[in-house]
Amino acid sequence: MTGLVLLIPIALFCGLVGLAAFFWSMKSGQYDDMDGAALRILIDDDAPAAVSKEPHA
């Protein structure tokens, strides 16, 4: 029983942290552009792609 007094609040707290994190990420717009986020990782910041001159297909 003493174990439960400790473990149940811990379990609930962990769940609440997850829920709060989800709410925060949604509010900060992380779900607004899912496809873009997947592509942005490919952008090389050192050499801006804007320099390239080839015509856009």
Contact positions toward another protein, by CB under 8 A? 1, 4, 8, 11-12, 15-16, 18-19, 22-23, 26, 31-36, 39-44, 48-50, 52, 55-57
Helix boundaries (H) for the chain: 2-27, 34-40
Q: Which residue lies nearer to another protein by CB, 6 or 36? A: 36
Residues, the chain = 57
Minimum distance from residue 6 beta carbon to another protein (Å): 14
Ramachandran angles phi, psi of 29, nearest 5°? 80, 20
Tokens 């379990």 belong to which residue? 11
Minimum distance from residue 42 beta carbon to another protein (Å): 4
